[in-house]
Structure 1
Amino acid sequence: MSRSWAPLPVLAVAHLAGAAALAWIVRSSLDFGAPGRRLLLAYLLPYAVTYAVMASCALRTGREGRLWAREEWRLHWTALCLAPVLSAAAAPLFERTLGLDRLTAVSAGAAIGCGALATTATLVVSLRVMYAREVLKRAAPARVTATPPHLARLLAAHRTPHTARRTHRNGTRLSAGPGPDRPRRPSGPARPPRHRPRPERNPMADASDLPPHDDTEEDPRTARSPADPTGAAGDTAAAEPPAVAEPAPASAVREAPGNDAERAAAPPAGGGRPLTAGVAMLATAVAVVSVLVGGLLMAVGLTGHVFGAWRSPESLTPGLIGAGMLGTAPGLFAVSRARAWHEVRSLVLPLVVVLVGLFAVSLLNAGHLYIARGGSVVPVLFSLGWLCVLGVLCVFALVALAWQYFAPAQPSGPRTATLPGWSKPALAVLGSAWLGIGAGLLTRPGFWAAFVPWSTSRADAQALGVWALALGVGVLGALAEDDLTRTGAALIALPCTAVTVAVVLACRASAVHWHSGPALSLVCMVGGLLFAGASGRVLLTRTSPARP
């Protein structure tokens, strides 16, 4: 981690933007007389103290050479400079959507800006630590367990006579006994065994008074090289202990400029393109957000209340969106355990489709968001967070995906667990069904919304279309991989998503027109997801090699 996430140009731009926003806050607060001046003083005094502490700590750690600590302080320093920018942008928004007076809106914007940017800085620091761990983990090659030399010599000395093989002093290989494929001992007079005189030891002598062990007699089990059949050079090599390289400290690994671990990941054992740390971080971050936000949307939807970023006629659509997010979280958590890109792309590519699609749907229907139409505080803040988080994750996903395809690739190994023949037509039909209904809802929501067996708005239809499109891409991608070992993460997400969707449909069954054809089709498609995921996990367990 030698490169900074907050270089000096970024810090300078943050200072300029923060100064301009701070000037606007000062001018807006002074327009309200004594109440405004008191609120301004209560804002500027802790802000100035915090700024002084962060600036001094960042400069001090930089002078001391503690680059990792300096980077953390610089990230918090940059976020503090950008806090007035968020406050100045949020004040008019709160004034319009929540119906607040200007002084209250400015105060609320100032408080929310500082809190939100402080939390963001903490998250960025945590992501930097996670990124460093992922880079080091993926740069290190797979560990190979080897027997230490002293244990190998000890095991060789205690072998049974039927398996021990020895070497005569003239280089002839000997065995424990004669046999049809074993050479006999060379003829000649037997040599008497050597008896080395042992020095007398004083039981009360100190360990430093004992004579050193200088026995240079050759071990008959030591193998000689062809260039040195007599073993003359073996004494010198044995007398000199091999140099042991001291492990580099953790700070050198993290802060050394141009670290090789930061540039390239170790190639996977089965070939292919190595999984980059950015994709693993993206999957983990989206999984955490999916558990929190998806669990909230699903829980509120199960109670029959409408809650989301935009207005919906039924609570079923936000509940299904939350169910999809919650169901894919276990598969996303499993992405970080993979080493190769082909093992997770059947899940990561649908993830990118969902992020980009939901962000595009939110922008296309920006007029229907609570942040634009107004409402109570909780939906307005949720819609604001929904838009901001989706935008950040969307950019992160596109950058991580481009970075993944720039990674050097090796020839992929052979497929070890191909899909059974009977499953391929069913997967093709299932994936095409999800892909077709998703593309229709996304491109022509006015027409295809009539095929949804409950009431939906335009934004609801397009959001459901994004999820259906992603499911179709995932199923068809698994079919194109034609290898169960390459779809492990997707096989975790498919049945979990089917179960969560089925729970929402069962709990909100009164809102669904079950006597219609689209409802029957939906049941078959959800059941297909469950059967495909469960059967794939069973087949993968049966075909996987047994672990020692």
Structure 2
Amino acid sequence: MASILVFMAGTQLYVLTEYTDRFFSWTINPPLTAAFLGASYWASFLLEFLASRKRTWAESRIAVAPVLTFTTLTLIVTLLHLDKFHLDTSAHEPITIFATWAWIIVYAVVPPLMFAVLLFQTRLPGADVPRGEPLPIWMRGLLGFHGTVMVLLGLAFFVAPTAVAPIWPWTLTALTGRAVGAWLLGLGIAALQVVWENDWARVQIALVSYLGLGVLHLIAMMRYLGLFNWSQARSWLYLIFILSIFAVGLYGTLRARQVVPTALPEAS
């Protein structure tokens, strides 16, 4: 159910990118920001859907901390900027009002529910399956770099979005800056958790999601190429960063398919 809601949010933003005034909870400009958020939602959908199909906690927990972080921060963003949301029934269509209230309800319910599930899971008896083949050092180093950059940048955007906005390659408001920051924090935590797990079987689904993230963001860039100022270093740095996400995701996805997952212990 959760993955379906994530997919729907991604569709609103990545497909109906230029119609957020009607089909989303708040109006997003420029549309590249909506595409960025939509790409992140769809990549998260991959992560959550694949996690739901795993048999062990060790192989599925890679989805929990990033999603819990993102949903909690997004609830805070919503409350901080509630005046920007489409809640005025006299100014918006019923479908717009419905989308807005659905957003508010989902983000009010999901964080405490996920925290309860996490608490329940950590109290269950048992131990993780032993780690199998580790990731190469260069890959852990690059993912560690990705994660650190995204977490630090996400924190900066969340705390002081207007002050940090000039370093971003396109225009962000306080609301969209914090929304982007919430995603950066969630994605950064996911990348750092991959480094910590350091096992192909445990991080396979995260690498598939990472590949999807890179592909979707590259497509978003191509859709709105004119919004980038290529005479500025920040546009090139953004492109290089996204390309590196794509490269790590592609290599990791292909390599993980070759690794035999650690077998579950037989019942005695």
Equivalent in the alignment of 1:407: 124
Are 1:529 and 2:245 counterparts? yes
Contact 1:367 1:373 in 2 (8 A): no
1:357-403, Cα deviation, whole Å (9 max, x unpaired): 11111011111112159632133332122111221222321221221
Aligned to 1:309: 25
Whole-angstrom distance in 2 between the partners of 1:374 and 1:361: 24
Instruction: Please say if 1:392 is aligned against 2:84.
Output: no
Alpha carbons of structure 1 residues 374 and 525: separation in structure 2 relative to 1, 3 Å: farther
CA 1:375–1:509 in 2, change beyond 3 Å: closer, same or farther? farther
1:348 counterpart letter in structure 2: V
Which amino acid in the other structure matches residue 291 of structure 1? Answer: F
Change (3 A) 1:392 1:523: same
1:342 aligns with one of 58, 75, 85:
58
Contact 1:374 1:380 in 2 (8 A): no
Change in CA separation of 1:398 and 1:546 when aligned onto 2, cut-off 3 Å: closer
Separation in structure 1 between the aligned mates of residue 40 and residue 205 of structure 2, nearest angstrom:
15
Instruction: Confirm or deny that 1:539 pairs with 2:255.
Output: yes
Q: TM-score, normalised by structure 2?
A: 0.89
What SS does structure 1 have at the residue aligned with 2:146? helix
Shift in alpha-carbon separation, 1:372–1:404, aligned structure 2, 3 A: farther
- Check if 1:426 corresponds to 2:132: no
Q: Which runs of 5+ in 2 are unaligned?
A: 264-268
Answer yes or no: is the 8 Å Cα contact 1:297–1:319 preserved in 2: yes
How far apart are residue 459 of structure 1 and its match? 0.6
Find the aligned partners of 2:229 and 2:86 in 1 and give their Cα distance.
Answer: 28
**1:535–1:362: structure 2 CA closer, same or farther, 3 Å change rule?**
same
The answer on 1:445 being equivalent to 2:161 is: yes
On the 8 A contact 1:441/1:464 being kept in 2, the answer is yes
How do residues 465-480 of structure 1 correspond to structure 2 at under 5 angstroms? 465-480=181-196
Paired residues, what number?
A: 260
Task: Give every structure 1 segment of 4 or more consecutive aligned residues whose post-TM-superposition deviation is greater than 4 Å.
Answer: none
| CA distance, structure 2, for counterparts of residue 478 and residue 332 of structure 1 | 15
Partners of 2:31 and 2:98 lie apart in 1 by 19
Please list, as runs of the form range in 1=range in 2, the aligned pairs for 1:7-86 lying within 5 A after superposition. none
TM-superposed deviation, 1:340: 2.0
- Asked whether the 8 Å contact 1:437–1:468 carries over to 2, the reply is yes
Q: For residues 64 and 262 of structure 2, what CA distance do their matches in structure 1 show? A: 27
Greater relative CO, 1 or 2 (CA 8 Å, sep 6+)? 2
CA contact (8 A) 1:495 1:529 kept: yes
Instruction: Give a deviation string over 1:59-99, Cα, whole Å, max 9, x none.
Output: xxxxxxxxxxxxxxxxxxxxxxxxxxxxxxxxxxxxxxxxx
Cα deviation for residue 542 of structure 1 reads 2.4
Instruction: Check the 8 A contact 1:494/1:533 in 2, yes or no.
Output: yes
1:192-222 Cα deviation digits (max 9, x unpaired): xxxxxxxxxxxxxxxxxxxxxxxxxxxxxxx
Partners of 1:290 and 1:325 within 8 A in 2:
yes
SS at match of 2:229: coil
In the alignment, what sits opposite 1:293?
9
Distance 1:445 1:373, change over 3 A: farther
Q: Which residue of 1 aligns with 2:224?
A: 508
1:481 maps to which of 197, 219, 244: 197
Residue identity (%): 21
Deviation at 1:463, TM superposition (A): 0.3
CA RMSD of aligned residues (A): 2.1
Residue 81 of structure 2 aligns with which residue? 365
Q: For structure 1, list consecutive stretches of 5 or more residues without a partner in the other structure.
A: 1-284
CA distance, structure 2, for counterparts of residue 445 and residue 318 of structure 1: 17
Find the structure with the greater CA-based Rg: 1
SS in 2 for 1:371: coil
Whole-Å separation in 2 of the counterparts to 1:511 and 1:373 = 33
Secondary structure of 1:344's aligned partner:
helix
After superposition, the Cα gap between the structure-2 partners of 1:414 and 1:383, relative to the gap in structure 1 and judged at 3 Å, is same
Alignment correspondent of 1:324: 40
Q: Give a deviation string over 1:230-260, Cα, whole Å, max 9, x none.
A: xxxxxxxxxxxxxxxxxxxxxxxxxxxxxxx
